[in-house]
Amino acid sequence: MDIADLIARARNGSPRATGRLLSLVEGERRDEVLAAIDPAPVSEIRVVGITGPPGAGKSTTIAALVGAYRERGRRVGYWPWTRRRRSAGVPCSAIGSG
């Protein structure tokens, strides 16, 4: 499967293709993957970061936002971060999209 095919499958919601692309980006083919991505749809992506102390309502807020997006037919991706890796800007894993 070539990179263009992986990108098309990832945009259609394939977790396997998304994971494979992440592996390629984290490996030696980063520039090749980034060059193959059409920048036009990126303007439609919304990124939200939520921080706060324990008990502040982060999980409740995220659940409400995800529910609202999905009710409107939007897909939602979630990447958890750890304190150790957050400062480097490296996601720990890609979990679910849908």
Query: Locate tokens 């750890």: which residue?
Result: 82
Show me where the domains of the chain are located: 1-45, 51-98
Question: Model confidence over 24-80: pLDDT tens digits?
Answer: 988 889 899 988 987 666 666 677 778 888 899 988 998 898 889 889 988 777 666
**Phi, psi (rounded to 5 degrees) for 50:** -125, 125
pLDDT higher than threshold 70 for residue 22: yes
Answer yes or no: pTM beyond 0.75.
no
Look at residue 42 in the predicted model and tell me its pLDDT. Answer: 60
> What CA–CA distance (Å, rounded) separates 20 from 9?
11
pLDDT higher than threshold 50 for residue 11: yes
Q: Count other C-beta atoms under 10 Å from residue 33's C-beta.
A: 19
